[in-house]
């Protein structure tokens, strides 16, 4: 099924009842499942009907297209924002419900994300760990080579570590970990952090 963004990209042709039959079928399939796009379609049709059939004002022929274009651009922007928010919510749900540890470090190697699995594994809450230095809570990271691996991830490299040891405190027994350390990039590709899935 089409995404909302894909639907909106073809929205103008759908309103004009142009485009090929297969595309219209896919657009209608999306409309059948997506209440948000149904509302957008209905309100846009009503607005167009009101403007074109109203005797209260008239628009010169060349003024109509730019207005419709602006309305469509605003609809696309809003729907793109809604799709991005939905994707972020899904990502957050996956991270929080994952059956493995997920940690995100910023470029200073401070914790930015510490998922519930890591809380259960280490006995540390996200609230006490977030914004703290990597080395504040877990011993042996320098000697196990994890600091170097994190720094490599911050340069853009993805590194798999099959086994490493760490301890919450010097007096506690160690825990064995493994994971993939990778760069975390912004939409423009800038590396802002590294993460591990253990």
Query: Where among 51, 70, 95 does a domain terminate?
Result: 95
Same domain for 58 and 140?
no
Q: Do 84 and 110 belong to one domain? A: no
C-alpha span between 149 and 158 (Å, rounded): 9
The first and second tokens of residue 17, run together, are 């009842």
Rounded CA gap, 131 and 189, in Å?
23
Cβ(194)–Cβ(182) under 8 Å? Answer: yes
Domain shared by 62 and 84, yes or no: yes
Half-sphere exposure of residue 115: CA atoms within 13 angstroms, side-chain side? 19
**Domains in the chain, number:** 2
Q: Which residues contact 173 (CB under 8 A, 6 or more apart)?
A: 167
Q: Averaged over 12-22, what is the pLDDT?
A: 77
* Mean pLDDT value across residues 9-26: 79
**128/40 same-domain check:** no
Q: Are 121 and 179 in contact (CB under 8 A)?
A: no
35 and 102: one domain? Answer: no
Pick the closest to residue 92 from 68, 61, 116 (CA basis): 116
Residue 103 lies in domain: 98-197
What gap in Å lies between CA 170 and CA 140, rounded to an integer?
A: 9
Q: Of 127, 132, 136, 191, nearest to 158 (Cα)?
A: 191
| Element counts in the chain: helices (H) and strands (E) | 9, 5
Domain boundary among 95, 122, 141: 95
Q: Are 115 and 98 in contact (CB under 8 A)?
A: yes
Higher-scoring residue by pLDDT: 87, 29: 29
Average pLDDT over the chain, rounded to an integer: 76
Asked whether residue 110 falls in the same domain as residue 189, the answer is: yes
3-state DSSP call for residue 39? helix
Q: Do residues 83 and 136 share a domain?
A: no
Residue of higher predicted confidence among 20 and 128: 128
Q: What is the pLDDT of residues 139-194, one digit of tens each?
A: 555 556 777 888 888 888 888 887 665 655 555 566 666 778 888 887 777 787 67
Last residue of some domain: 66, 95, 124?
95
Examine the domain organization and report whether 104 and 36 are in the same domain. Answer: no
Let me know: does 5 contact 80? Beta carbons within 8 Å.
yes
Do 28 and 78 lie in one domain? The reply is yes
- Where residue 116 sits, what CATH number does that domain have? 3.30.450.20
Same domain (yes/no): 30, 116: no
- pTM tops 0.95: no
Whether 131 and 75 map to the same domain: the answer is no
């Amino acid at each position: 099924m089409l995404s909302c963004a894909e639907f909106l990209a073809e929205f103008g042709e759908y309103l004009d009842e142009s485009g090929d039959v297969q595309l219209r079928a896919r657009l209608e399939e999306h409309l059948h499942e997506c209440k948000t796009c149904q509302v957008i379609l209905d309100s846009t049709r009503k607005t167009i009907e009101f403007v074109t059939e109203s005797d209260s004002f008239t628009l010169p022929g060349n003024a109509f297209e730019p207005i419709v274009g602006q309305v469509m651009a605003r609809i696309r922007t809003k729907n793109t924002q809604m799709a991005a928010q939905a994707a972020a919510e899904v990502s957050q749900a996956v991270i929080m419900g994952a059956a493995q540890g997920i940690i995100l470090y910023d470029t200073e190697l401070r914790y930015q994300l510490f998922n519930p699995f890591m809380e259960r594994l280490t006995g540390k809450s996200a609230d006490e760990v977030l914004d703290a230095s990597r080395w504040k809570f877990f011993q042996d990271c320098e000697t196990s080579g994890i600091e170097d691996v994190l720094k490599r991830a911050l340069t853009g490299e993805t590194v798999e570590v099959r086994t490493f040891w760490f301890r919450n405190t010097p007096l506690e027994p160690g825990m064995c970990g493994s994971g993939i350390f990778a760069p975390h990039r912004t939409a423009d590709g800038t590396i802002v952090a590294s993460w591990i899935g253990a």
